[in-house]
Structures are given as C-alpha cells and as structure tokens.
Structure 1
Amino acid sequence: MEVVASQRQSLLSVDISCSEVTDSGLNFLSDCSNMQSLSCNYCDNVSEHGLGVLSGFSYLTSLSFKRSGGVTAEGMRVFANLVNLVNLDLERCLKIHGGLVHVKGLRKLESLNMRYCNYITDSDIKYLSDLTNLKELQLSSCRITDLGISYLTGLSKLTHLNLESCPVTAACLEAISGLASLMLLNLNRCGIYDEGCGSFEVHANTCEFSHM
C-alpha cells in the first residue's frame, strides 16, 4: 500500500477488494486527496477506525464496502464529508443500523446499495428522503415496512427500487405509484396479494411481483 500511495495526488482509483489490507495500510492513502473511486469489498481486516482516512477524500464519487464488518453506524460519521459521492455500495454491511443519518446530506448520491443489510429499518430510511438525485435504491432483505416506503415519495428521479423479501404489503403501492420515473420495481417474496393492487398506477416498464 505504501507503493500505491506514493502516487499521491495523481492516484484517482484504488481497488483493494479481497485483500489483507488493514487500517494501517488504508491510512497510507491519506495523502491521495484526489481519489475518485475506492473499492474495499470483502476486506475483513479494515475496522471502523480505518474509515477515518476517508475524511480527506472530498472528490470521491464512488465508494464500495461490500460485506465489510468495519462499516458501522459510528464509523459512517466520516461519510458526511463525502459531498461529491454518487455511488455508495454497502451490501451485506450488517452493522450500519442508525448510521444513515450521516448520509442524509449527500445530495449528489444517485445509487445506494444496501442489499442484505438485514437490520436496516424504517427509522433508517427516513434519512433518505432528501436525497432527491437518487436513481437506484437496493433494499432487498431489509426490515422495511410500508411506513419506510412512505419516506421515499419525494424521490422523483428514482428509476430502480428493489424491495425483494422486505415485509411490505399492498398498502405501500400507493406511495410507490407516485414515483413517476420508476422503471424497475422488484417486489419478489414480499407480502403483496391481489387485494389493494387495483389502486396501483403502474409507471414502471418492469414490475416483478411474488404472490406468496
């Protein structure tokens, strides 16, 4: 990592996924303040303390921490500094419940992946209501109910919404029908039945339903 970081300001993209890099290794990147893309997927040796290096990456537009135990609600405080972030991938990060409060100011965010973040609830989703540039939201297998979906009604640019295996019912369809830009809606393995679907105005080109 010391060799990689020696590029300093000219280093724009780093992918250390599936590596043995630790917090100390990540800290070598602290002088690479022009970084635009960083992927740390499956990096089991990076803790929430290592995330502090991100505070200097104000130009970062893409950040991925798939299946990282180091991303916690407390560690996500540093995300508030990433004002230019467009893509954020937190798939299978199981310790981020309560941390989305630090994302609410990221108004340039267009894609947010929280698939299989099993402890995300309605109280987390309310912090997404002001992310008006959001186009893709992946929430499969989260604990989102109809109340949580109601917080998304102002996301007029949302085109992709994945709620697979979330405990939502047909009651959420009224809120979803107001998402005029929606192109793909995944409701597989949700509690959606015929009753209540009649009031759903379909704006999507592709809607996936599962009648359980």
Structure 2
Amino acid sequence: MNTNTPSPPPKIVPPLWRRVWTRLMADRGPGKKRLWVLVAIPAGALAFIGLIALVALYAAFAKGLPSIDWARQYRPPIVTNVISGDQQVMGEFYDERRVVVPYQRIPKKLVQAFIASEDAGFFDHGGVSFTGLLRGLYQTYVKRTRIVGGSTLSQQTAKAIIASSEGAKAVRVRSGWAGVRRKVREFILTRRLESNFNKEQILNLYLNEVYLGHHAYGVQA
C-alpha cells in the first residue's frame, strides 16, 4: 500500500504589479477609502502643479524670441552696393555681408553637400535629433576624439535667427544656467519653425543665414 502523501502544488506568486494593483483596489472596510483614492488625490495635485510650472517655464524661456512672422517676411540685413555711372560696383556697405538667394536658385549639389556634412537625417526628424545629440556628447565628452555638435540644420537655423535678431552674444553662451536657457530657447524656436515651414523653406532660411566667417552670411556671400 502506497502511503506517500502527494506534495502540494507549488505556490504561484503573482507579479509585483498585480500585487500592488490588488492592494490599491482592495476594499479596506466600512468608512475607509480605497488606497488608490488616497494615492490619486496627491498625485493629481502634484501633476497639476508640475503642469503649471512647465507652462510658466515655457513662457519665461519663449519671452522675447523672434516671431514666426519675422521668418515669413524674411528681410535680413544685406549688402548695399555703390554703383558708378557705368554700372560698375565702386564699393560695399554692410553690417552682415549677405545676398539673399531664392531656394530655387541655389545649386542642388550645394544643398546636398550642406545636408551631408551637417545633418544627414534632416528630412527624417522633426527638428531635433536626439540620437545625433547623444552621439555628439559621446564623441566630445566620453571618447574626447573631437568636438562634435549635435544640432540639426533646423536648430542651427533657429540659432542663426536668434543671433540675427538679438546679436551674436546671445548664442555664444555655453555654460551654466545661461547656456541651458539658450538651448531651450533654440529648441522652442526650432519646433515653431518645423510647425510653420516645410523643409525646403527651413533650408532656404539656413542657407541665407549661415555665418561663413569674415562677416559673410549666406551661401551667396
């Protein structure tokens, strides 16, 4: 006769998330609120306060940014030429040496060269490339092989617009709170550009705004 007692089945322990959910939803007895109610009220209050703080921060960072109308009615400083009676250029006056060129007149190979060297994924992202930003930080601060920027062409366009509107010093700050403020302002303007213009229009702004050294702005200069 077999007297062996069968072993009890193994105890199944539910996953942690289910145990927490069961505890939150359990009836705690008469007159006592369920735990999820006690948790939801302060969590909702904190979320509301956080939302108000984010809106206030956004308004503070966005204050004074160039308007989208500035980009729509794009009329940057350009070169003033002094022409002689026989139609020869005698001299030039400028703060920013720039000749505005319509996008259709810019050679496609030049456009492709800028995209390939500055932002290969320009037509695929929404203005900010987080993978490019992380790659730039890794190359610059971890591998220390070379300084690599993580800004897209859209971000560089926003930076150029801010520099043209507020002066070059506004975009040169890189450290501390002022550096954080500068990057956030660039991010906000980048998103506004992406929301109001197509990629070709942003490229046109960039190729006419980009600083190429020696007071030369834009590809025609």
**Short-chain TM bin:** under 0.3
Instruction: Please state which structure has a larger fraction of its residues in helix.
Output: 2
Instruction: Please state which structure has a larger fraction of its residues in strand.
Output: 1
TM-score normalised by length of structure 2? 0.19
TM-score normalised by length of structure 1? 0.20
